[in-house]
Amino acid sequence: MGLPKDERSARQWLNLIPEMGPVRFRKLHEYFGSAVSALDASPSDWAHVEGFTPSLSQKLHPSALDMEGSLEAEEKLLTALKARVLISTDEEFPEGLKTLTDAPFVLYIKGTWRVLDNLSVAIVGTRRPTDYGRAAAERLARELAQAGVTVVSGLARGIDTAAHTAALKNKGRTVGVLGSGLNQFYPPENKALLEKMSEQGAVLSEFPLNTRPDRGHFPRRNRIISGLSLAVVVAEADEVSGALITARLAAEQGRDVFAVPGSVFSRGSRGPHRLLRQGARLAESAEDIMEEIGVFQDLIRAPRPTSARASSLSPQEESLLAQMSLEPAGMDDLSVRSGFSAASISALLLTLELKGLIRALPGKSYVRTEQAMV
């Protein structure tokens, strides 16, 4: 097959080399002027590049690797997956990534990245959210989607899934970034979500198509999530988490960082509260985010859908619902708060649950649903 002679294929070829990475590629590209020229150079030529010792140059140079057919196999797989490869000279390549010192030199994309997607906000958080954290992520994603803002996240379980799903339900655009190749998708239960996102947004990865998910890949994935976005919101996370890594990377990239406040008794609130103490902005609604980012001022004034439950509740139902939140509450507690008898509480809870405004939890406790927060 021989070495590729066009820049796109040359970058793909270099991306298939283990241990190449975006920083090493940038140094090669700056020295030789293009990926094609870098491939044409010898290992001894590579050794003149900063950071490339003779031994490293020999190790990473294509001449020392058995790569015959690798690029051709990737091209066939790209076709089968209905995916494409973007490089920084493409008009579709995200603007936010072009200025990063460790910018990906190849992006595999399933779906489309549009100019308006450059107006995007990332929502990230724990893979094990509470009902409160999930509802907060859904609310923010819904409001952002309704305002025409693209929602970015990492397609992981928990907060990521909640944010992507809420954006899709509200006919918004959403973009996911993987810590694996597009052909080694993880988690498997989100496969249908990936396909839907590729129709109503995009799924991106900088890793070769058959790259398996690995712990070391996710910090690299996270810097793309923050790089794509004008702001990053941590909805719920522990103090040591990938979400806080994303927030740190966002700050280093000059992006705005927001955090959703939570209960002082919840482990998932430790991360957001730590960020707030460090100077992150508080996010209770999408408007909080958009007001801080002046470019969104026109979007804030976009009309919003009215509540589906407007005037559908009795005064007693409204009164009880006003005493409930995303924090679980038992019948005795609700009786004390509202002043209703146990018998009245039981009947009212049943009607509110049938209307989809509250949800029963194990242990005979209840929480408001996201629909009830509109």
Grade residue 373 by pLDDT with cuts at 50, 70 and 90: low
Cα 15–chain centre separation: 23
Q: Give residue-wise pLDDT tens across range 181-234.
A: 999 988 989 999 999 999 999 999 999 999 999 888 999 999 999 999 999 999
Segment 32-55 mean pLDDT: 94
pLDDT at 310: 42
E strand or H helix at 259: strand 256-259
Grade residue 306 by pLDDT with cuts at 50, 70 and 90: very low
Task: Give burial (CB, 10 Å; 0-12/13-18/19+) of 263.
Answer: middle
pLDDT at 340: 86
Percent of the chain past pLDDT 70, that is, above it, reads 93
CB pairs under 8 A, 24+ apart, for 289-292? 289/121, 289/140, 289/144, 289/231, 289/233, 289/256, 289/258, 290/147, 290/149, 292/231, 292/256, 292/258
Q: Give residue-wise pLDDT tens across range 76-121.
A: 999 999 999 999 999 899 999 998 989 999 999 999 999 889 889 9
pLDDT at 304: 43
Q: Domains, the chain, ranges and CATH?
A: 1-68 (1.10.150.20), 108-300 (3.40.50.450), 315-373 (1.10.10.10)
